[in-house]
Structures are given as C-alpha cells and as structure tokens.
C-alpha cells in the first residue's frame, strides 16, 4: 500500500470507528453482550487537574489514578456552562444531560444553544439510573459517600426529584430503592423530628430499614465486623468529618477507603456482580472554601479508595473502574499572583511547606475558634492549626470576610491566607466550567474526550442495560396509563402525599417516594419508587403497578 493510500485507509477506518461509536452511543438498546460483571464508579466531587497535581506533590510519589488516565470529561449541564453536582451526577447515573438542581429527572425546556431542546415527554420526567438497572438485573448495588447519603451525587443514583434540596424525599426514596449497601452520613434524615431527627413527615425510616432486613450500623468497628447482608451505615447525623479532621471530630467514623474496601467485600458476594458508586464528597467543599487542607486530605483519601477498587479489579478481571470528577470547584492553581507564587524558579518547599503545617480544615478551625471571634483568637487558631504567624491586619480581614459570608464563614481563612502565605491560587468560591480528567481501568473503559452523559451510557453498556427501556418500565405517567380511570394526588396528609388511582370502582393507593402499592387491603412492594413531579403535576409509577391494578380489576370482574 502506498503511503498516501495507507493514510486514506487509516482516515477511513478511524471515521468508521467514530461512526460506529456514535451509533453505539445513540442506540444503547443495541448493547453488546456484557463482558463486564462489576462496575465501580468513583467520583471526586469538585476538582480538576491541578488538584490532582497538587495531591501528587504533597504525596511525594505517584497517585493510583496516575497510571489510569484515559481522557477528559466535558461537564456542562443542559442549561448551564457551569454545572452543579445534581445534573452532573445525573448525567453519570442516567446517560442524559439534564438541568440545574434536578436529581435524575429529564432536562427542562430552557437549554444552551448547543443542546437540542428536549422532547416534551422527556422534560422533568424521572429517568432510570444505572443503579436501578443493575438492581433489576440481579446485581448487588452500593453507595459509599462522606456527605449525607441524601446529598446531590448519591441522590442522583437512588432518587428522582426536581430539586436537590428535597433531602427528606431523597432519603425516603433511597430507603425504598432496595439498595444493598449505603455507607455515609445523614442519619438525621431517616429519623422524625419527634425522635430527634430532621424528618417532618413523622416517619422513622430506621424502622422501615430494620423491617426490610437491613443492619443499621453507626461506627467504624461495626463496619469492620460486617460479614454479609444488606446494610445502612450511618456514621454521622449530618455529613461525616473531613478526612484531616477525622481524628478530632469523627473518631468513630471509618475512612472512605475502609468503607470502599468493605463495600467491595460485601457486594462481590453476589454471583451476578455489582454496581458501586463511591464519592469523595468533600473535595468539593475544600475547594469551595479555598482550603488546601480539607481538599488534600479528602482527595488523597479518595485516591486510596481508587486503589481499593483497582486492587479488586486487577484480581477480578471483569470489573470496570471509572474515576472522575463532576466539575471543577474553586479554580485552584499551583501558582498565584504573589511574588513567590508567580516565580518560575520555585523550589518544592515553597509549595509544600505551608501545606504540611496545616493540621485542620477551615471549618474545623472555625469550630475551634468558637465564640472567641477576636483578632487574637484568630491569630492563635491559625498559628496552632495552619502553622502561620499572621498579622493583626490578616486576622481582622478574616473576621470581616467571615461576617460578609455569614453562611460560609470558614471560607475566610483560605480566601485571606492562601494568596499571602501559600503559592496556591483560587479564582472563585463556586464551581468552574472546564473539563475534568477521566481515569479508567478494565474492560469496556472509555477513552478520549467524553461527554458527561456518555459516562452513564458506558456504565449501562458495560452492565448490559438499556436505560431508555428501563425508564419506560419504571416510570409511567399514571394519568396516561389510566386515561380510563381517575388519578389524583391525595395530599390530605401534606407531608405524606399518596397517588390515588380509581379504576373500575376500586382505588389503589401509592405513597409518593415509596415502592409500595396498597391494593385490596394489602400493601405490595414494587420494583421501583413512586415519583411525584411537583413541577409538572405528574405522577410516575412502575409498569408493574399498572399491571397489578388492571389485573386485579380483571380478576375480580
Ligand atoms: Zn459537585
């Protein structure tokens, strides 16, 4: 073959490969026979390349992710160049690009110019997730996080709601999702206010879980002792402690690595395989606060969780490991505008020494400051925990910024001190719109520059799932299914609404956020949760429920 011919053929074949990939992506129902038994997805919330680079310098040797870099992920949401964690995680969970604040529901009508306007029946409707699909395929499923289990990223795999803040609804759906293992924080969202928790609907879902055969555990020791079975490990009332603060503020809590290793040990007992999502939830918060201490502690612990996944996958041979972020946060850079920070003659010590003196997260320092909100108090705390001898002016500035940002006073430490006492730069306390690195290992791993929803489709393909069909199976618009009946939302008990379906003289009742149908005096468990989309007024129920309600009517006729 001549040189130019070879070039032409290689161009043609890469075109054909690209075309094949495109049609593959679009028609995931034509998925190949699954070669992958297990998928472990690890999300370092809110960071991009520079944070990993900084973690590597700090660690002093290569990171587990270093050897498995395969590409990058485009992170934008359907309606925003900069995404929040809710649509970002929803893309990974459902394979669909969705809109701000939504938890695994279709995009809204307003989209970016490059995003096609979604068809009306897709808008704001619940979308099946890879976790739901894995469960219906008989696989074990697990969620491991260091935030509340009802926070945006884990929520996107276990729940469906237009607003990520509805954490009571999210936790209720997580309880009724039949996930095999949930490890993280958020115990208060399972417990009613009357019993000291946060739930305003009066329900005690610790009891629900126990009745369903779950073990409820709350400490690192209890986790270590687990040998099998379904478990909710709720290690904190709210979020778990920052890794760097764990000894100080969460001594009984397991690390992300310990939770990940235990999760794999338990889930891998299922012969059909498993799906596990692990989130280093607080990398994002460290970056929001421009706090290198919080960020580094949690990102390095995330790396240890990645190593746990890789250890298993290397032995197993049929496990796909994906590690990535959902977006960048803080716009961190190695280098800032200070004289030292912009030097191209920078010795390692300029980068590392200030960071090595940090012994507590910024929220941890704010907590330690307590009521002593004086310049002297601030100077003392910063000296003790970040090893910096700061000036009165610095201390006053920290107090002023903390007063300005009342909800996030801890952000003041990093904002004031990083530019002056470190060579780390930050551009924002918010999220950023850039691409994030993609790490992967095992069969079916993606490569190149990947669109965020493609990650969800990669997982679906690996597990042999057809997410579109699963969405049709799990979420039928009840009014469409019962055009010949009557569907209403019974909100007599405001906190516990019920979808009521009158059909041929009988009424079926389906409590919102649960996987139950009450029919002919009996409550029967369903294969999916009942979702009420408050923004469209539509109720979604599994096809299984439609069949049962229609079937009963037929049987009794
Ligand atoms: Zn995020």
Q: How far is the CA of 429 from the centre of ligand 1 (A)?
A: 13
Instruction: Report the half-sphere exposure of 486 (CA within 13 A, side-chain side).
Output: 7
| Crossing angle of the two packed helices 467-474 and 452-463, in degrees rounded to 10 | 90
| Crossing angle of the two packed helices 348-356 and 292-316, in degrees rounded to 10 | 100
Is the pLDDT at 153 greater than 90? The verdict is yes
- Dist CA 496 CA 491 (whole Å): 7
Which has the closest alpha carbon to 427: 350, 354, 530, 332?
Answer: 332
Which has the closest alpha carbon to 38: 174, 141, 180?
Answer: 141
pLDDT 10s digits, 42-72: 999 999 999 999 999 999 999 999 999 999 9
- Dist CA 231 CA 467 (whole Å): 26
354: left (phi over 0), alpha (psi -120 to 50) or beta: alpha
Q: How far is the CA of 555 from the centre of ligand 1 (A)?
A: 49
Q: How far is the CA of 199 from the centre of ligand 1 (A)?
A: 25
pLDDT 10s digits, 248-267: 999 999 999 999 999 999 99
Global pTM?
Answer: 0.92
pLDDT at 543: 97
Three-state secondary-structure class, residue 539: strand
Helices (H), 389-518: 392-404, 411-421, 452-463, 467-474, 478-481
pLDDT at 25: 41
Which has the closest alpha carbon to 184: 305, 21, 331, 14?
Answer: 305
Tokens linked to 232: 């909710």
Q: How far is the CA of 239 from the centre of ligand 1 (A)?
A: 15
Q: Mind giving me the DSSP string for 430-445?
A: SEE-S-EEEEEESTT-
- Dist CA 278 CA 265 (whole Å): 14
Q: How far is the CA of 390 from the centre of ligand 1 (A)?
A: 32
Average pLDDT over residues 275-294: 97
Angle at 460 between CA 180 and CA 35, to 5 degrees: 95
Q: How far is the CA of 259 from the centre of ligand 1 (A)?
A: 20
Q: How far is the CA of 146 from the centre of ligand 1 (A)?
A: 13
pLDDT 10s digits, 502-547: 999 999 999 999 999 999 889 999 999 999 999 899 999 999 999 9
Q: How far is the CA of 47 from the centre of ligand 1 (A)?
A: 8
Cβ–Cβ < 8 Å for 94, 129: yes
Is the pLDDT at 11 greater than 90? The verdict is no
Q: How far is the CA of 434 from the centre of ligand 1 (A)?
A: 13
């Amino acid at each position: 073959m001549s040189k130019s011919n070879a070039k032409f053929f290689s161009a043609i074949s890469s075109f054909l490969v690209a075309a094949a990939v495109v049609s593959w992506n679009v028609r995931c129902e034509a998925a190949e026979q699954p070669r992958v038994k297990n998928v472990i997805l690890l999300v370092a919330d809110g960071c991009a390349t520079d944070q990993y680079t900084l973690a590597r310098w700090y660690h002093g040797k290569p990171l587990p992710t270093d050897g498995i870099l395969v590409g990058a992920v485009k992170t934008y949401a359907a309606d925003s160049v900069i995404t929040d964690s809710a649509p970002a995680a929803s893309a990974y969970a459902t394979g669909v690009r969705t809109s701000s604040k939504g938890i695994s529901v279709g995009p809204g009508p307003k989209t970016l110019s490059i995003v096609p306007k979604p068809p009306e029946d897709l808008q704001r409707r619940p979308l099946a997730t890879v976790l739901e699909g894995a469960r219906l395929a008989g696989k074990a499923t697990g969620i491991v996080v260091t935030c509340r289990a009802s926070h945006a990223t884990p929520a996107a795999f276990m729940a469906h709601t237009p607003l990520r803040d509805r954490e009571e609804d999210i936790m209720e759906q997580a309880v009724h999702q039949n996930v095999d293992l949930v490890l993280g924080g958020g115990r208060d969202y399972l417990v009613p206010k009357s019993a000291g928790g946060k739930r305003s609907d009066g329900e005690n879902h610790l009891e629900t879980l126990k009745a369903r055969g779950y073990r409820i555990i709350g400490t690192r020791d209890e986790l270590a002792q687990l040998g099998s079975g379904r478990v909710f490990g709720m290690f904190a009332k709210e979020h778990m402690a920052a890794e760097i603060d764990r000894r100080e503020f969460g001594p009984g809590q397991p690390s992300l690595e310990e939770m990940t290793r235990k999760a794999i040990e338990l889930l891998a007992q299922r012969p059909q395989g498993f799906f596990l999502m692990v989130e280093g939830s607080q990398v994002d918060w460290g970056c929001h606060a421009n706090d290198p201490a919080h960020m580094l502690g949690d990102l390095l612990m995330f790396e240890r969780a990645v190593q746990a996944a890789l250890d298993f996958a290397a032995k197993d041979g049929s496990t796909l490991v994906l590690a990535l972020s959902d977006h960048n946060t803080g716009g961190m850079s190695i280098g800032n505008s200070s004289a030292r920070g912009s030097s191209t003659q920078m010795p390692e010590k300029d980068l590392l020494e200030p960071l090595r003196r940090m012994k507590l997260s910024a929220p941890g320092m704010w907590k330690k400051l307590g009521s002593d909100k004086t310049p002297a108090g601030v100077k003392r705390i910063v000296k003790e925990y970040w090893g910096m001898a700061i000036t009165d002016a610095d201390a006053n500035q920290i107090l002023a910024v903390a007063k300005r940002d009342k909800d996030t006073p801890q952000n003041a430490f990093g904002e004031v001190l990083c530019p002056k006492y470190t060579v780390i730069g930050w551009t924002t306390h918010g999220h950023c719109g850039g691409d994030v690195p993609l790490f992967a290992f095992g069969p079916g791993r993606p490569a190149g520059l990947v669109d965020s929803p493609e990650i969800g489709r990669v997982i679906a393909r690996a597990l042999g799932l057809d997410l579109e069909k699963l969405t049709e199976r799990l979420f039928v618009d009840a009014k469409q299914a019962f055009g010949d009946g009557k569907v209403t939302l019974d909100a007599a008990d405001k906190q516990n609404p019920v979808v009521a379906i009158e059909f041929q003289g009988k009424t079926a009742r389906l409590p919102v956020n649960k996987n139950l149908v009450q029919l002919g005096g009996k409550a029967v468990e369903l294969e999916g949760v009942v979702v009420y989309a408050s923004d469209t007024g539509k109720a979604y129920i599994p096809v299984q429920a439609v069949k049962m309600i229609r079937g009963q009517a037929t049987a009794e006729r």
